[in-house]
Structure 1
């Protein structure tokens, strides 16, 4: 059997790039939905 490198053997944890909770999440979702559903 050959040794194959498995990425899950050495996971790297980094800080989140965006927030997914609270008021920023609600604001982002609202901006996106209004941009998709508003008349152009």
Structure 2
């Protein structure tokens, strides 16, 4: 997901917490650096 020139987020769907409403887990939020896998 993007919202600005350098705004990025990764997320995933999870099991419902409230019936009938999607539940989303936010994984990483920030700029392009959030996609850096880190040290090998």
Question: More strand per residue: 1 or 2?
Answer: 2
TM-score range, shorter chain: under 0.3
What is the TM-score normalised by the length of structure 2?
0.22
Question: More helix per residue: 1 or 2?
Answer: 1
What is the TM-score normalised by the length of structure 1?
0.22
By relative contact order (CA 8 Å, sep 6+), the higher-ranking structure is: 2
